Amino acid sequence: MSLIKFGTDGWRAIIAKDYTVDNVKRVSEATAQWMLKNDMKQVVIGYDCRFGGELFSHTSASVFGNYGIKVLLSKNFVSTPMVSLAVVQTQSDLGVVITASHNPPSYNGYKLKSKFGGPTIPKEIAEVEAIIPENPLGTMPSIDELTENGLIEYIDMEEMYIQHVQKNFDLDLIKNSGVKLAYDAMYGAGQNVIKKLFPDAELLHCEYNPLFDGQAPEPIRRNLKELSELIKSNPSVNLGLANDGDADRIGMFDGNGEFVDSHHILLLLLYYQKEFKNLDGKVVITFSVTDKMKKLAEQYGLDVEVTKIGFKYIAEIMINEDIIVGGEESGGLAVKGHIPERDGVWIGLMIMEFMAKAGKSISELIQDIYDKVGPFYFDRDDLHITDELKKSIIDKCAANEITSIGDQTVLSTETIDGYKFNLADDEWVMVRPSGTEPVLRVYAQAANGQRVREILDAAHKTLQA
């Protein structure tokens, strides 16, 4: 049987190649055995819009039921944050989400969620991974049989989530404020909740399509051109939001159809939480997030911690400390006042409420940020290269052979997770292999888009020389 390894955010593999019913049985059996060892008795299971979601969730549920563990099961597709919230609200011991998040449509995956409502911590993931059996279970009880015996119960996680939103946001204020939303679900699990909360929103790709029309449901600039054009052609729209396949990540556009990256969203969230909601706490960001977050936090007198890349590292800190804002460059963001989980829909609601309370557009709020920390631009290239070339580039970085990039001297190098080369004028380049895909990521920050492009192009030449 194939080796099952959890990456940055769960186990992911290509459907029918390594992501099979038998392998889902294997990882579920290890999870069930780990639960019993730790005196855990109830699990929540949900699945997103990907191909085979219901089949694989039922497979997992059958394994847990076989071990006498009570399963709270979703009847329809749900977002990852809905599963995490359901774990908390039902006081369950663990959550399982059948999802490959933003990966291409050929993938599916398996995420574990803790009783706190966020990613299971790395230590516990390693314990599960270490006991995955070589062979799958044989015949197991059916879903119907387990339901009749009380070991499987269906719950409406989406309705639980909507009620939680209604308790925590001033939806009337948002709807009466003039905020007009355009929303791209990317055929993902956020589609129904937005339809219900904002029936007047302009909608894109809010239909069930398990192949995502052939595109990876990752809410980044290059994948959201249709949303950008919709905003540009519709003067009444002043905010664009998009979510990935399991709706835990966010992409955003201002009223001009210009992309607003996660670095800017994080700054907006910190600004809102501190100056409008009068909250305090520590700021936690992953290694690839802009250092402008440190500058803004310093102005507010808040501590900052930088983690390895992967929201699980942020969640582990959020469980144990008072965190005002936490997030990563890839669109996974979390805030005080919610579960310790990235949640693309929740963060979108936060931004809408901020606009409504401030009476300002996204562009105006970003200018407020620039007045505090200075303007900047960020972009990322994903290089699909051979493993041999990838290894040679990483070896070069590890050997401290990168001393300049283009016309800029490398002033210092950070190695928390990958390699970040700090240049003059708040510019930097970062290199890191993806933890979920066979790519090498190259990131850059500078004052404007043209300069970022110049730096990225120069970085490619330096790295592959």
Q: Which two tokens stand for residue 414?
A: 């950070």
What's the rounded Cα separation, in Å, for the pair 257 and 238? 8
What's the rounded Cα separation, in Å, for the pair 231 and 211? 25
Mean pLDDT taken over the chain: 95
DSSP string, 238-256: -EEEEE-TTS-SEEEE-TT
Q: Which amino acid is at 424?
A: A
The total number of residues written for the chain in this structure: 465
Q: Which amino acid is at 327?
A: G
Q: Which residues of 152-169 are buried (b: 16+ CB within 10 A; e: fewer)?
A: beebebbebbbebbeeeb
For residue 387, the model assigns a pLDDT of 86
User: Directed axis angle between helix 122-129 and helix 311-320, to 10°?
Assistant: 120
pLDDT, tens digit, for every residue of 385-418? 888 899 899 999 999 999 999 889 999 999 999 9
For residue 246, the model assigns a pLDDT of 97
What's the rounded Cα separation, in Å, for the pair 24 and 166? 35
What's the rounded Cα separation, in Å, for the pair 172 and 459? 48
Helices (H), 43-184: 53-66, 80-89, 122-129, 143-148, 157-168, 171-175
The reported pTM is: 0.92
Kindly list the structural domains of the chain, giving each domain's residue range(s) and its CATH number in brackets, ordered by start: 11-160 (3.40.120.10), 169-373 (3.40.120.10), 377-463 (3.30.310.50)
What's the rounded Cα separation, in Å, for the pair 281 and 43? 31
Q: Number of helices (H) and strands (E), helices first, in the chain?
A: 16, 22
pLDDT, tens digit, for every residue of 280-321? 999 999 999 999 999 999 999 999 999 999 888 999 999 999
Task: Check: CB of residue 297 under 8 Å from CB of residue 283.
Answer: yes
For residue 47, the model assigns a pLDDT of 98
Please check the confidence at residue 435 and state whether its pLDDT lies above 70.
Answer: no
Which residue has 């490619």 as its token pair? Answer: 460
Please check the confidence at residue 105 and state whether its pLDDT lies above 90.
Answer: yes
Q: Which amino acid is at 336?
A: K
